[in-house]
């Protein structure tokens, strides 16, 4: 598979603060990547470095197997960083024309891209009159102008209302469905879980995980139970090989993590055979959020 | 090069504030010059006609108009600092770079715009001066008409140099208002430096060193023409004589500053994390 971006041992220091620490990962064509991390974990800095607006301290990165300079490569990339940045006194079309001139693309694409993001009716309105959601959609249209090989989005739904978030996600899904490689930085886990196939998890500039999203959620899940005799239940669970950690929360709900696969009916039968009647039984897998919190807490 | 110029012109001309300022800085001085060359009847009492005084004679007129028009450069200086300041405050500089403009191209697009407007201004002043001169001047020989044409070159270099300084200050402080403040501080600093030099050495040495300072060297390109006008009226008063001509070394000094300012602007942007 074609490599779009390769990052090797990238480090960025702001004075004594290390924002990105020895980071390496590779972006392959056709996948949707998420960069996950709490605020201040170095997501935007990493993107800033590969997009040529932040100077790296050490390490290197390479666009498209090093076949072109970063400055050339960026003409094949579409990117939005944090907030949509346009000239407030220009209309949507005028702003996009300017981007066309920078990227060296024909201006005939403008209508088509405005259509995708649903801004065709407002194309002659000044940017300053747009709502945040519209500004963000214009930014996506602008990033798509050159039919990029990769679309980089940094917190695209930040600060939007639920409708705005929904619209942006729909647009992203549409673009992903067309086979465009996407790199999405976010601290919103469900966003990444819904959209991405691969994920890089960062914390304080250090990579904690990189790989497929489903491989990250690779545990056997857990049972949430309560019963008529909780103390005996806990004793049984602790003596059973299939269970790892067992936790009891404030509502007397017992959480038992599985070390090996087990069906809920087998679990229920096993309890009943031991004279325990369950009043609540749920089998679940960890969500990405729980995985993420585990990853970021333990290190 | 035209792509970069085109980019910057779109940014400027779609902005109403900069459109007005460009108009004031380039078009207005020529209107004023044109108007002053007309016969003005002051409330029917007497007629004022500057042309009669001989100030529109070749080659003096080149000196007069370039000196006069260059006083309006401050308006375009506001445009220059605000074209940097706006890029920072709108964060469009970041977006421009992400969209695929290199840092070098960014600075160059600003510099080309400066050169472009200076050139337009120079061409405009050439035609206006030529037509006023042809109308009023007592001498119409081609050799006399084009004597002192070097003032046009000096005018061009002076504009480019001054706006490059504004570009650098704009890049340095990122805010338009502060950049203009810096210009004023530099002006004062040059005079303080001159004062100290004059006190340490003597005023003659101090002045020759001062002529290397950025603002002073730009000012020196076109010396004030009034003394020369007086001189032309009273040719026998030798103590009025002064060196008003444009010297190659003066142009070289200003070009040196221009290069330095543009280069430093680039270095500054290159080092900066946006």
pLDDT one-digit tens code per residue, B175-218? 988 999 999 999 999 999 999 998 888 888 888 888 899 999 99
Nearest to B100 among A87, A88, A102 (CB): A102
The per-residue DSSP string of A72-119 comes to: HHGGGEEEE-SS----TTSBHHHHHHHHHHHHT--TTHHHHHHHHTT-
Question: Residue A125 — very low, low, confident or very high, per pLDDT cuts 50/70/90?
Answer: very high
A118 phi-psi bin (left φ>0, alpha ψ -120 to 50, beta other): left
Given a contact cutoff of 8 angstroms between Cβ atoms, the answer to whether A80 and A137 are in contact is: no
The percentage of chain A sitting over the pLDDT mark of 90, rounded to a whole number, equals 31
Q: Is B2 an interface residue toward A (CB < 8 Å)?
A: no
> What's the pLDDT score for residue B85?
93
Question: Residue A82 — very low, low, confident or very high, per pLDDT cuts 50/70/90?
Answer: confident
> What's the pLDDT score for residue B51?
63
Q: Is B7 an interface residue toward A (CB < 8 Å)?
A: yes
Interchain CB distance below 8 Å, B102 and A52? yes
Q: Is B89 an interface residue toward A (CB < 8 Å)?
A: no
Strands A77-80 and B46-48: unpaired
The percentage of chain B sitting over the pLDDT mark of 90, rounded to a whole number, equals 43
Model confidence at B108: pLDDT above 70: yes
> What's the pLDDT score for residue A61?
92
> What's the pLDDT score for residue B173?
92
Given a contact cutoff of 8 angstroms between Cβ atoms, the answer to whether A257 and A243 are in contact is: yes
Neighbouring CB atoms inside 10 A of A178's CB total 7
Nearest to B10 among A52, A83, A98 (CB): A98
Model confidence at B162: pLDDT above 80: yes
Chain mean position to CA B224: 14
Average confidence (pLDDT) over A134-141:
91
DSSP E strand stretches across chain B:
40-42, 46-48
User: Tokens 């040719």 correspond to what residue?
Assistant: B235
> What's the pLDDT score for residue B93?
92
Q: What is chain A's mean pLDDT, rounded?
A: 87
What distance in Å separates the CA atoms of residue B82 and residue B74, rounded to the nearest whole number? 12
> What's the pLDDT score for residue B41?
62
pTM of the prediction? Answer: 0.85
What distance in Å separates the CA atoms of residue B133 and residue A256, rounded to the nearest whole number? 98
Average confidence (pLDDT) over B25-35:
74
Give the residue from B98, B103, B113, B274 with the most A CB atoms within 10 Å of its CB, the best one to mutate. Answer: B98
**Span between the terminal Cα atoms of chain B, in Å:** 25
Q: What is chain B's mean pLDDT, rounded?
A: 86
Q: What is the pLDDT of residues B223-248, one digit of tens each?
A: 888 778 777 777 676 666 777 888 88
């Amino acid at each position: 598979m074609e490599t779009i971006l390769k990052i090797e041992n990238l480090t960025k220091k702001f004075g004594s603060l290390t924002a990105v620490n020895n980071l390496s990962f590779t972006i392959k064509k056709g996948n949707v990547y998420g960069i996950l991390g709490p605020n201040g974990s170095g997501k935007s800095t990493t993107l800033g470095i590969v997009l040529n607006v932040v100077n790296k301290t050490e390490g290197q990165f390479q666009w498209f197997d090093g076949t072109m300079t970063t400055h050339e490569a960026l003409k094949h990339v579409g990117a939005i960083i944090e907030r949509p940045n346009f000239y407030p006194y220009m209309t949507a079309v005028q702003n996009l024309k300017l981007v066309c001139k920078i990227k060296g693309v024909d201006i005939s694409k403008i209508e088509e891209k405005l259509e995708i993001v649903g801004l065709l009716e407002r194309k002659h309105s000044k940017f300053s009159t747009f709502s945040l959601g519209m500004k963000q959609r214009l930014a996506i249209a602008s990033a798509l102008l050159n039919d990029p090989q990769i679309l980089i989005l940094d917190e695209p739904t930040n600060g939007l209302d639920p409708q705005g978030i929904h619209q942006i996600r729909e647009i992203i899904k549409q673009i992903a469905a067309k086979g465009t490689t996407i790199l999405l930085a976010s601290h919103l886990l469900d966003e990444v879980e819904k959209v991405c196939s691969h994920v890089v998890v960062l914390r304080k500039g250090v990579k904690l995980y990189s790989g497929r999203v489903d491989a990250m959620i690779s545990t056997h899940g857990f049972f949430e139970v309560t019963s008529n005799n909780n103390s005996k239940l806990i004793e049984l669970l602790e003596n059973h090989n299939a269970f790892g950690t067992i936790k009891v929360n404030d509502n007397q709900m017992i959480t038992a993590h599985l070390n090996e696969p087990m069906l809920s009916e087998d679990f229920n039968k096993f309890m009943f055979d031991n004279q325990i009647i369950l009043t609540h039984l749920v089998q679940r897998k960890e969500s990405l959020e729980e995985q993420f919190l585990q990853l970021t807490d333990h290190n | 090069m035209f792509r970069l110029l085109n980019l910057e012109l779109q940014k400027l001309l779609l902005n109403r504030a900069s459109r007005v300022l460009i108009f004031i800085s380039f078009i207005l001085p020529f209107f004023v010059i044109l108007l002053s060359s007309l016969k003005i009847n002051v409330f029917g009492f007497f007629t004022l006609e500057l042309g009669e005084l001989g100030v529109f004679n070749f080659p003096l007129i080149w000196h007069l108009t370039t000196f006069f028009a260059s006083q309006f450069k401050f308006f375009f200086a506001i445009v220059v600092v605000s074209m940097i300041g706006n890029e920072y405050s709108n964060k469009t500089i970041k977006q421009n770079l992400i969209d695929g403009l290199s840092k070098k191209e960014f600075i160059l697009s600003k510099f080309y715009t400066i050169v472009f407007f200076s050139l337009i201004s120079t061409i405009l002043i050439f035609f206006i001066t030529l037509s006023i001169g042809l109308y009023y001047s007592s001498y119409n020989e081609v050799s006399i008409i084009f004597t002192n044409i070097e003032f046009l070159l000096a005018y061009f270099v002076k504009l480019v140099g001054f706006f490059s300084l504004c570009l650098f200050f704009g890049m340095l402080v990122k805010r338009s208002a502060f950049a203009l403040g810096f210009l004023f501080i530099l002006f004062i600093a040059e005079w303080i430096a001159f004062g100290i030099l004059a006190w340490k050495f003597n005023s003659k040495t101090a002045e020759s060193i001062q002529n290397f300072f950025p603002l002073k060297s730009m000012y020196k390109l076109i010396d004030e023409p009034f003394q020369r006008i007086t001189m032309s009226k009273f040719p026998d008063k030798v103590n009025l004589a002064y060196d008003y001509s444009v010297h190659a070394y003066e142009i070289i000094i200003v070009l040196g500053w221009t290069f330095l300012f543009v280069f430093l602007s680039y270095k500054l942007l290159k080092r900066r994390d946006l």
